Structure 1
Amino acid sequence: MLVTFGMVTPTVMIIVLIIALVLFGPGKLPELGKALGRGISEFKSATNGEEKEEKKEVES
Structure 2
Amino acid sequence: MFGRLGGTELLVILVVGFLIFGPKKLPEIGKAFGETVNEFKKSAKSAQDEVKEVIEVVESK
TM range (shorter): 0.7 to 0.9
The unaligned stretches of length 5 or more in structure 1 are none
- The percent of aligned pairs where both chains have the same amino acid is 34
CA shift for structure 1 position 16: 1.5
Q: Which of the two has greater helix per residue? A: 2
**Normalization by structure 1: what TM-score?**
0.78
Correspondence list, 1:2-21, <5 A: 5-7=1-3, 8-21=5-18
Match in the other structure for 1:47: 44
Q: Which runs of 4+ in 1 moved over 2 A?
A: 5-9
**Normalization by structure 2: what TM-score?**
0.77
